[in-house]
Structure 1
Amino acid sequence: MPQLNPNPWFFIMLISWLTYSLVIQPKLLAFTSTNPPLNKTHTTPNTTPWTWPWT
């Protein structure tokens, strides 16, 4: 069965993972977020109790 022969497929998988790990991943991790959550101020909402007409 030729699909069980790991000879060409293992090499292709190994090269593609090395390319991803060494070339693409550092470039993706170098991007900075355009809207970082650290710059946002935390505000608590003003909650007022609801007055029900039947109470």
Structure 2
Amino acid sequence: MPQLNPNPWFYIMLMSWLTFSLIIQPKLLSFTSANPPSNKTSTTTRTLPWTWPWT
């Protein structure tokens, strides 16, 4: 059963994980958010219920 042999797939998985954690992840974390969160409280407007014509 070839899937039990860890030689080909374990090396590929290890290299993929290292590539992601050492190269791609720092690049993704360096981006700044276009809409950063703020501490302001949001004001919500209360809407009135719809009056249906048949009620």
TM (normalized to structure 1)? Answer: 0.69
Using the alignment, how far apart are the partners of 1:37 and 1:6 within structure 2? 45
Stretches of structure 1 that go unaligned for 5 or more consecutive residues are 48-55
Stretches of structure 2 that go unaligned for 5 or more consecutive residues are 47-55
State the superposition RMSD in angstroms: 2.0
SS at match of 2:18: helix
The aligned length equals 46
Larger Rg: 1
Using the alignment, how far apart are the partners of 1:44 and 1:20 within structure 2? 41
2:49 paired residue number: none
Instruction: Report % sequence identity.
Output: 70
Using the alignment, how far apart are the partners of 2:45 and 2:20 within structure 1? 48
